[in-house]
Chains A and B, each alone.
Chain A
Amino acid sequence: MVKYVLKRLLMMIPVVLAVILLLYVLLTLAPGDPARIILGEDAAQELVDAKREELGLNDPILIQYGKYVAGIMTKGDFGNSYSTGKPVANALLERFPTTIGLAVSGLLVMSLIGIPIGIISAVRQYSWIDNISVAVGMIGVSMPNFWLGLVLIMFFSLKLGWLPASGFYGPAYWILPAITVGVNSAATLMRTTRSSMLECVRQDYIRTARAKGQKENVVVMHHALRNALIPIITVLGMQFGILLGGAVVIESIFSIPGLGKYIVDSIQTRDYPVVLGGVVLMAICFSLVNLAVDLLYTAVDPRIKTQFQGKKKRKREVKTG
């Protein structure tokens, strides 16, 4: 198992390097000369040229990229912001926990809503509960979450005055954003849970479990749910990525000082090192989550684990046992 994790971590490195290369090249193509952006439109050409040399912008792009990656690897250096001149890394790290916190609380909301309703819906297929949750789930999937955020602000903050509309100072400030990011994903998760559970409850071993007189909730939670978990975990992992990407929009609605808002603001001011650093950080985080999802698969379904064992080991096991 340790070997498998190491192998997967090693396999992640080229992908992450390629992602950084892709983003680096893309953002280098973006309009505007960085030296001019830093110095302003009126700066003298000599100063701009000197700045270009200082920033290493005259080097071939692959060398620039190499330097950038080396900076990240050795010093955790993501370059300096064009607008403030300060290291991007510090600013990113300051905002990163907020965005992760938002994504995790969104995951919590979605799991708490999505999984139980999905299970009930599947167990009582075609009942009124099922019909309502299927319809509401469909609406939930189709709803743009930033619009839901606006509606929630209108209702709970402005009309009722129960919760703060923007900013990020205490627990009360988390509630609306967490619901906003979570509800949409909850609908997706509910639909997946329902269909995956529906497939499982039709299996023979469920009938067997019932036949031997097992309690209904044990049948549902242990026999059916355990086997229905794989698609549920897949969706959880996928939604985490969607939450990270969606955070960009949600954070700007609620004025949350997170990574997403920082990226959008920096796009507006053409502060590309910040954009690059922020997106790279999110990509690494997303890759790690994907890895975690794959590892969870092996924990949930031991059959998957054997696929990743070396051929020799498998042969040996067949021989001995």
Chain B
Amino acid sequence: MRKQDENPAKTINGKEKRKSQFYEIWRRMRKNRMAMIGLIIILLLFLSAVFAGFLAPYGIDDQNTKERFLGPSLQHLFGTDQYGRDIFSRVLYGGRISLTIGLVSTSISGFFGIILGSIAGYYGGRLDNVIMRILDVFMSLPTMLTAIVVSAVLGPGIGNCMLALGIATTPRFARVVRGPILQIRNQEYIEAAHAIDLSTPQIIWKHILPNVLAPIIVQATLYIAGAVIAAAGLSFVGLGVQPPSSEWGAMLSAGRAYIRDCWWIVTFPGIAILLTCFSLNVLGDGLRDALDPRLKN
């Protein structure tokens, strides 16, 4: 019975309202020129990583000993490295790895962060205290140090790198989720949801999380940027992805020995990281502004 009563109302009110909310956000986002630039850049980077196979003029590991250490030219847009590999192609392929690390590690921290944060925020009291104190312990280490320790234990590699970064950022993600939940869990519509006898997971999933989605999305966008930089840092000191791979940090690490004569080897992967993080940060900022109800006219 209850289900029947509920469903029609949801399709009419719930769905339409949700759609218009996103439309509203998009409308405000569009006015923000910087955010749109960020969105376009990140989409281009994403597409160029996905279609690296078509776009790259050379293969990822095509070595050509006759063309070692060539500067940027029309044949090799970003020059070549110590094995004569085309840096432009490697940067494109590297985008796959770096963006994947950013997305997956943020998904890991998002998944656990949302679970822990919403349990802590929703139940409050002793459970909240226990969860938050445990997370405090993690947070009394700087994120990068946690990531370094975890990857020291797990060993190098792409998967371990993603896991290390995910674990390191989970506590901070949980805190971002918990804050707003603490605020809305006493609102009347939550009480109403209780009154119609919804189960707790249902309440959290359908009524609480959609209302804290805004800070979560903003945070996730910024975390992807942070993860790309941190992954590059880990790879750079030899704890993340290892050099034959074209992950941007690993490229920097491998090219470091040649900076005296070949500036292009370390410059372009760095610019790729910079561009990725810049676009994500600008986009995150724009999203935050668009989602902030105080700016609503």
- Chain A positions within 8 Å of B, measured between CB atoms, are 15-16, 18-19, 22-23, 26-27, 29-31, 138-139, 141-144, 146-147, 150-151, 153-154, 158, 241-242, 244-246, 248-249, 252-253, 263-264, 267-268, 275, 279, 282-283, 286-287, 290
Contact = CB atoms under 8 A, between A and B. Distances in A.
B77 interface: no
Contact of B259 (A29, A158, A252, A267): A158
B29 interface: no
27 contacts: A23-B149, A26-B150, A27-B152, A138-B282, A138-B285, A139-B274, A139-B278, A142-B229, A142-B277, A143-B274, A144-B229, A144-B273, A144-B274, A146-B233, A147-B274, A150-B256, A242-B142, A246-B144, A246-B233, A248-B144, A248-B237, A252-B236, A267-B148, A268-B238, A275-B149, A282-B145, A283-B145
Contacts of B229: 142, 144
A268 B263 CA distance: 28
Given A18-B137, A242-B144, A286-B142, A144 B267 contact: no
A154 B263 contact: yes
A31 to B, nearest CB: 7
Contacts, number: 122
Nearest to B231: A144
B219 interface: no
Contacts of B225: 142
Given A141-B277, A158-B259, 15 more contacts: A31-B153, A138-B285, A141-B281, A144-B249, A144-B270, A146-B233, A147-B252, A147-B266, A150-B259, A151-B267, A249-B236, A264-B237, A264-B238, A275-B149, A279-B141
Contact of B266 (A143, A150, A279): A150
Contacts of B99: none
Contact of A151 (B150, B270, B278): B270
A241 to B, nearest CB: 4
Given A144-B232, A144-B274, A15 B136 contact: yes
A249 B153 CA distance: 18
B107 interface: no
A163 to B, nearest CB: 15
Interface of B: 34, 136-138, 140-145, 148-150, 152-153, 155, 225, 229, 232-233, 236-239, 249, 252, 256, 259-260, 263, 266-267, 270, 273-274, 277-278, 280-282, 285
B152 A30 contact: yes
Contacts of A283: 140-141, 145
A241 B142 contact: yes
Contacts of A15: 136-137, 140
A290 B140 contact: yes
A264 B148 contact: yes
Contacts of A18: 137
A280 to B, nearest CB: 10
Nearest to B153: A30
A149 to B, nearest CB: 10
A309 B144 CA distance: 35
Given A19-B137, A241-B142, A282-B142, A267 B278 contact: no
Nearest to B270: A147
A16 B273 contact: no
Contacts of B155: 31
A179 B222 CA distance: 24
A19 B171 CA distance: 14
B145 A142 contact: no
Contacts of B148: 245, 248, 263-264, 267, 279
Contact of B141 (A19, A143, A154): A19
